[in-house]
A and B are shown apart, each in its own frame.
Chain A
Amino acid sequence: MISLAVASLVIFFVIEVAPGDPASFMLGLNAQPDTVAALRSELGLDQSKFARYASWVSGMLRGDFGTSYTYRTPVAGMISDRLWVSLPLALYALALSTLIAFPAGIYAAARRGKTGDMAVMGATQLGVAVPNFWFAMMLVLIFAINLRWFNAGGFVGWDKGLLTGLHSLTLPAISLALPQAAILARVMRSALLDILGEDFMRTARAKGLSRRQALWRHGLRNALIPVLTIIGLQFSFLLAGAIIIEQVFYLPGLGRLVFQAISARDLIVVESVVMLLVFAVITVNFLVDLAYALVDPRLRSRT
C-alpha cells in the first residue's frame, strides 16, 4: 500500500517536470495565447500541482483515470480496451513459459550431469541470450511468411471467438515465453538439485520410495518456493516485454498506447499506464507471498 502511494507520487511528479506544455503542443505553434489558456483550464492544467495530484489519485481510487488530453475520451476506457490484449498475452506467455520450463527443469535435474541435462542447460544458455523481439521476427519469418500458419501481425479481437483470438496471440506469446522459460527451467533445476541433497529426500528413499516417487512427492513441492519467486518477478518482465513484442506484431495493446501517448504528450495516459503496470507488479508480488503460504505450511504462522 505504502509502495503504491510512493510510486504514484514518483510517477506523477517525474512526469510533471517534463518539458513541453500539453495544451500548447496540442494546439500547434500558431495558437493564440488565450486559446492555450482556455484549453489549459479545460484540462485542469492551470490548477496547482498538488490539487491535480490529489484529483488524479482520488479519481484512480474510484476507477476514474481522467480524460485523455488528445482523444478526449476517458483514460479508463482506453486502458481497459488495450488491457484485453496485453493481459491475456502476458498470461498466455506465463502459462507457456511454465509449461515448457517445468518439464525441462525436472528432466535436467533428474539426469544431472548426463547428456540430457547438458542439452537442456545448453538450450537455456542460448534461450537467455536471445532478445525476444528478434526471436519474434524469426517466428514471423518462418511461421507467418514462409509457412503461413499465422498472421504476421495484428489482432483479430475476441469477438471472433476465444480460439481465433488465442491463435493470433500465439506467436507473440511464444516469443515472450521462451526466454523466460529458459530462466525458469534453470531455477527449477537448481532448486530441485538443492532439494535432492536434503536429508528428508534420503529418508524418503530409505523408506522405499523410488527416485522418481521421491522427486514427485517430496522434491517438487519444496522446490516450488524459489520457482514461485521467479515467476512473480517474471510477470513484470512479461508485462514490460509485452510492450516491445506488441511493436513487433502491431498488436493494439498497452505498449502501443503508451508510445502513442508519449509522442502526443498525452501525459495523463502515460501516467495512468505506468501506474497500472507498477500496480500489477506490486499486486503479483503480494500474490506470490500468499502463494508461499499455500505451498509451504511452515511459512503460515510467520505471516
Chain B
Amino acid sequence: MSRNLIIGGLLSLLVVLAALVSFIWTPFDHAIMDIPNKLQTPNATHWLGTDHFGRDIFSMIMVGARTSIAVALVAVGIGMSIGIPLGLTAAALNGSWLDELIMRGNDLVFAFPSLVIAILITAIFGAGAVNAIIAIGIFNIPVFARITRGAALTLWQREFILAARVAGKGAARISTEHILPNVANLLIVQGTIQFSLGILAEAGLSYVGLGAQPPTPSWGRMLADAQTMVSFAPHLALIPGTAIILTVLGLNLMGDGLRDWLDPKLRVART
C-alpha cells in the first residue's frame, strides 16, 4: 500500500467518523444559540470557537460532514446506477443507433455544467439538499457512462469474451458477468474522484444558497455566513474551508492510491 492510500484513507476515515459520531455525540448541540458567547476564537470549551450566534463550530463541522457526505454519496450513487448500465449497453451494442443515442445524450448533458443544472433545477423545484443531489447526480451520469463504455469496448475485443459467446452467453450476461467485474476497479477509482468533486460541488451550491437549507448545517453555508465577518473573525471562514480541503484532499489521495493498488497497469500520472 502506498503512502497516498494510507494518508488519504486516514483523512477520509476521519471525516466519515466525524459524521457518524455526530449522530450520537457532539460537544454541544449544533443548533443551540448562545449569543453572550458569540464569535469566540478556539479555546478549551469551544475547541474551534463559536460563530456569530454563539453556536459551537466544532459541532457544526461534525454535523456538516453528514450533509456533505450524504449529498456526494447519493449523487455518485445516482451517477453509477444510471451511468454504468448505459455505458455497458452502449458498448455491447457498439455502433448501433442505441449506442449513438446514448453517447449523444451524454454529450448533451456534458454541455450543462453541474452548476447550470443546479440552477435549472432550483428554478423549478426551489433550493434544497435533495435538489443539489439530483443536480450533481445528473452531472455524474455521463462521466460513468463514458468511462464504462470506453473500458468495456476494449474488453469486448478480448478472447475470453469470445469464449463466453461461444459458450452461448448473450450480450446482457456477458456484460454483467464478465465486463462489469473487469471494469469495477476503474469505476471504484472514478467513484472516489467524483465523490470528492461532489463534496466541492455541494459546498459551492450551498454557498450560493442552492444547497441544504437552514437549519441543516453545511460547510458551504457556514462559509457564506462567514463572508461578511471575515475581516474580524477569520476563523469562521478558515475552519469550514480547511474541513472541505482536507476531505477533498483525502479522497483524491485515496483515489490515486487505490488506483495504483488495484491495478498497477493503470499507473499513469493522474490528471
Binding site for B on A (CB under 8 A): 2-3, 6-7, 10-11, 14-15, 17-19, 125-126, 128-134, 137-138, 140-141, 145, 183, 186-187, 189-190, 193-194, 226, 230, 236-237, 239-241, 243-244, 247-248, 258-259, 262, 267, 270, 274, 277-278, 281-282, 285
Contacts and interface: CB of A to CB of B under 8 A. Distances in A.
Contacts of B125: 18-19
A244 B120 contact: no
Contacts of B209: 259
8 contacts: A15-B120, A134-B237, A240-B115, A258-B119, A270-B123, A274-B119, A277-B112, A281-B112
A186 B271 contact: yes
Given A129-B252, A187-B271, A230-B271, A278 B111 contact: yes
Residue from A15, A18, A126, A285 whose CB has the most chain B CB atoms within 10 Å: A18
A15 B124 contact: yes
B208 A259 contact: yes
Given A129-B196, A129-B249, A129-B252, A18 B113 contact: no
B108 A262 contact: no
A274 B268 CA distance: 36
Contact of A247 (B203, B208, B226, B269): B208
Interface stretch (B34-42, B154-162, B240-248): B240-248
A262 B252 contact: no
Nearest to B248: A129
Contacts of B207: 131, 133, 244, 247
A3 B108 contact: yes
A141 B108 contact: no
Interface size class of B (residues with CB under 8 A): 35 or more
A244 B208 contact: yes
Given A138-B241, A262-B122, A277-B113, A131 B230 contact: no
B200 interface: yes
A281 B271 contact: no
B223 interface: yes
Classify the interface of chain A: helix, strand, loop or mixed: helix
A243 B118 CA distance: 12
B234 to A, nearest CB: 6
Interface in B166-216: 196, 200, 203-204, 207-209
Given A138-B241, A190-B269, A240 B114 contact: yes
A234 to B, nearest CB: 10
Given A125-B249, A244-B208, A274 B113 contact: no
B227 interface: yes
Contacts of A262: 119, 122-123
Contacts of B246: 129
A262 B131 CA distance: 15
Contacts of A10: 108
Contacts of A137: 223, 226-227, 230, 237, 241
B104 interface: yes
Contact of A243 (B208, B237, B240): B208
Nearest to B121: A14
A167 to B, nearest CB: 21
Contact of A190 (B108, B114, B223, B268): B268
Given A7-B111, A186-B270, A230-B271, A134 B120 contact: no
